[in-house]
Amino acid sequence: MKIIQTISGFFRNFLFTPLKRVFKGMGKKEELLKLPAPFVPDEEADSKQYEAHPSGAYMMLKMIFRDIGRYNAVIETLGRDFLTAMPKGAYKSRLGQIGFLHRRKHEELANPQVAAFIEEAHTHEKSNPKDWDDWDHANLREMEIMYRHHCQVDPELIERRARLGYEGRRVHSDVMKNNDWDTARPFLEDMISLTRRIAESKCLRDNEHESESPYQALMREYIPGFRIADIEKIFGQTRTKLDEILPQILEKQAAEKAPLPLKGPFPETQQMWLNKTLLRAIGFDFSRGGLYETGFNPVEGGTPEDTHLVIKAVNQNNFLISMKSTLHEGGHGLYVQGLPRDIWRYQPVGYDMGNAWHESQALMIEMILGRRREFFDYLAPRVEGLFQKFNDPSMTADNLYQLKTRVKKTADRKTADEVTYFYHINLRFELERKLFSGELEVKDLPDAWSAGLEEALGVTPENNMHGCLQDVHWFVGKFGYFPSYSLGHMIAAQVYTVMRKDIQNIPELLSEGNLIPVRDWLNHKVHKTGRLNRPGALMEEITGAPLSPGPLLAHLEERYLHNA
């Protein structure tokens, strides 16, 4: 309870700081920009986006944010093309196009006129409450949050960061081929220095609190509603409990027969057929999205009508790797496709709830459900036939289940099991805070990484490729993102405690390969609510309690110690 109060307390304070004190140069009322009456596309005539509203300022805002949303959609499409289809020769011009669009989008949002409209709309909201329903209130609130988050940042920095982020995907892919720390180091230094300048412009101040830290400002972009201190507390409790149960789990599994390794090859065509079949089983709509392979790292995004799931080119020796990535991205995809954009297309209230909730939807499918024993009853006979591995003992449901639930201390996050995964996230959360507070310099990162991993899991990475170079996040400028994974895992476990009461035949559904009822439940509870609620309030509404690590820890004990 206390955590939620702290979050909403801070949120309330910064929201009530007058906009005039947040930025300079706000337009006066009589100078408000007048936009012509909007062109309403036929297919959206009934949407709330275009529904007339008595507040002229709010109508203006809806049109401005519609255009910001359209910029986002175009950027997403260009980004997907960058990863999957762009010829090498277009690399530099594409960086220019992407940087330009980011800058234009930012200029639309950070315009002082937007603040003037927000103030005027708030005045109308207070004096005419009957004209505002819950969705309109939430939409205006989210517009203001977006505005405050961005309004002080120089557009040139936004353009440079967008370019550098895409360059980072290529740099990361190159340095991973040769364990090339000498190239990575100056790149990361540039990225951190640029990101720090942006973060400093995003730091919020309010009446009662001092200015927040740059890392907090960055985290707000990905994990709205969470404070660093809340996460430290939750992660601290998690670490204490995991330190207790991890040795017990390892001891238990050491006494069991080890799973048999898979025997490839598993051809690409068959793997992609399997992955698409699994996406259909979870309810992904291929008429509004697709699955793609890339030489870069996996990514997901787009819009509800054009949702892209991009996985790394398949490994022919192990079909479980691309399957894991597909189930993970598929969970993200269900969230994107389920957002309320037929009604609130492009409006801030129609966006997702941030990355912790997004990861929760991915991990619900990939880990919470996708590693239940019953799922492998569905999978095993199909992959045995698909890959022509008849009577191969490594392809049985039991063996596949054991392969996916084997716990092992390793240096790699992406292949880590469900139990040790937290240690990898916690290490990154600690290191990136130090990089932004100045406590740690990039040149010392490899040693700090090795020491941190040694302390957490007693493992030393054999080189930087298996250490501080392994993730793409920092190369694309995503600092403050990593806690989303463990928070998402916790959210998923807590939401699952309610889901399994509401859908009592989940084991049977998994063994039949039919997750449509699960998708519909998640859609009803999470996806279609967009940003109507704040993240903490959504958790309370679904589960009746604030987020806590308890359900995740109980889930891990149940699955890995009691084999339930």
Q: List Cα–Cα distances, 277 to 270, 272, 426, 482, 520, in angstroms.
A: 10, 8, 34, 30, 18
Give SS3 for 179: coil
- Report the C-alpha gap between 162 and 347 in whole angstroms: 22
Candidates 6-14, 86-94, 362-370, 425-433: pick the segment binding Zn ion (CB under 5 A).
362-370
Closer to Zn ion by Cβ: residue 159 or 359: 359
Candidates 190-198, 360-368, 372-380, 472-480: pick the segment binding Zn ion (CB under 5 A).
360-368
What minimum distance in Å lies between the beta carbon of 481 and Zn ion? 10
What minimum distance in Å lies between the beta carbon of 299 and Zn ion? 9
What minimum distance in Å lies between the beta carbon of 485 and Zn ion? 7
What minimum distance in Å lies between the beta carbon of 128 and Zn ion? 42
Closer to Zn ion by Cβ: residue 230 or 329: 329
Give SS3 for 184: helix
- Report the C-alpha gap between 72 and 354 in whole angstroms: 15
Closer to Zn ion by Cβ: residue 359 or 418: 359
Candidates 198-206, 287-295, 356-364, 544-552: pick the segment binding Zn ion (CB under 5 A).
356-364
| Residue of minimal Cβ distance to Zn ion | 362
- Report the C-alpha gap between 17 and 463 in whole angstroms: 49
Candidates 56-64, 145-153, 361-369, 400-408: pick the segment binding Zn ion (CB under 5 A).
361-369
Closer to Zn ion by Cβ: residue 110 or 416: 416
Closer to Zn ion by Cβ: residue 109 or 336: 336
* Nearest Cα residue to 437 out of 233, 184, 192: 192
Candidates 155-163, 181-189, 285-293, 359-367: pick the segment binding Zn ion (CB under 5 A).
359-367
Contact in structure between 231 and 547 (CB atoms under 8 Å): no
Closer to Zn ion by Cβ: residue 142 or 359: 359
- Report the C-alpha gap between 206 and 478 in whole angstroms: 26
Candidates 55-63, 201-209, 242-250, 354-362: pick the segment binding Zn ion (CB under 5 A).
354-362
Candidates 97-105, 352-360, 440-448, 473-481: pick the segment binding Zn ion (CB under 5 A).
352-360
What minimum distance in Å lies between the beta carbon of 328 and Zn ion? 6
Candidates 80-88, 134-142, 226-234, 357-365: pick the segment binding Zn ion (CB under 5 A).
357-365
- Report the C-alpha gap between 427 and 233 in whole angstroms: 15
* Nearest Cα residue to 495 out of 449, 535, 451: 535
Closer to Zn ion by Cβ: residue 338 or 446: 338
Helix H, strand E, coil C: the string for 92-138 is: HHHHHHHHHHHHHHHHHHCCHHHHHHHHHHHHHHHHCHHHCCHHHHH
Closer to Zn ion by Cβ: residue 362 or 492: 362
Closer to Zn ion by Cβ: residue 98 or 362: 362
Q: How far apart, in Å, do the first and last CA atoms of the chain sit?
A: 30
Give SS3 for 309: strand
CA-based torsion, 111, 159, 433, 235: positive or negative: positive
Residue type, 113: Q
What minimum distance in Å lies between the beta carbon of 484 and Zn ion? 8
Closer to Zn ion by Cβ: residue 167 or 359: 359
Closer to Zn ion by Cβ: residue 19 or 356: 356
Using CB under 5 A as the binding rule, the residues of this chain from 311 to 350 that contact Zn ion are none
Q: Does 60 bind Zn ion (CB under 5 A)?
A: no
What minimum distance in Å lies between the beta carbon of 324 and Zn ion? 11
Using CB under 5 A as the binding rule, the residues of this chain from 25 to 54 that contact Zn ion are none
Closer to Zn ion by Cβ: residue 144 or 359: 359
Candidates 4-12, 73-81, 232-240, 355-363: pick the segment binding Zn ion (CB under 5 A).
355-363
Q: Does 164 bind Zn ion (CB under 5 A)?
A: no
Backbone angles phi, psi at 290, to 5 degrees: -155, 165
Token duo for residue 200: 């400093």
Helix H, strand E, coil C: the string for 248-295 is: HHHHHHHCCCCCCCCCCCCCHHHHHHHHHHHHHHHCCCHHHEEEEEEC
Interaction pattern, residues 200-239, with Zn ion; x per rule: CB under 5 A: ----------------------------------------
> What ranges in 151-180 are assigned the alpha helix state H?
155-178
Backbone angles phi, psi at 293, to 5 degrees: -105, 150
What minimum distance in Å lies between the beta carbon of 2 and Zn ion? 29
- Report the C-alpha gap between 125 and 131 in whole angstroms: 7
Interface with Zn ion (CB under 5 A), residue total 2
Q: Does 362 bind Zn ion (CB under 5 A)?
A: yes
Using CB under 5 A as the binding rule, the residues of this chain from 170 to 199 that contact Zn ion are none
CB-based contacts of 462, cutoff 8 Å, min separation 6: 411
- Report the C-alpha gap between 239 and 389 in whole angstroms: 41
Query: Interface residues with Zn ion (CB under 5 A)?
Result: 359, 362
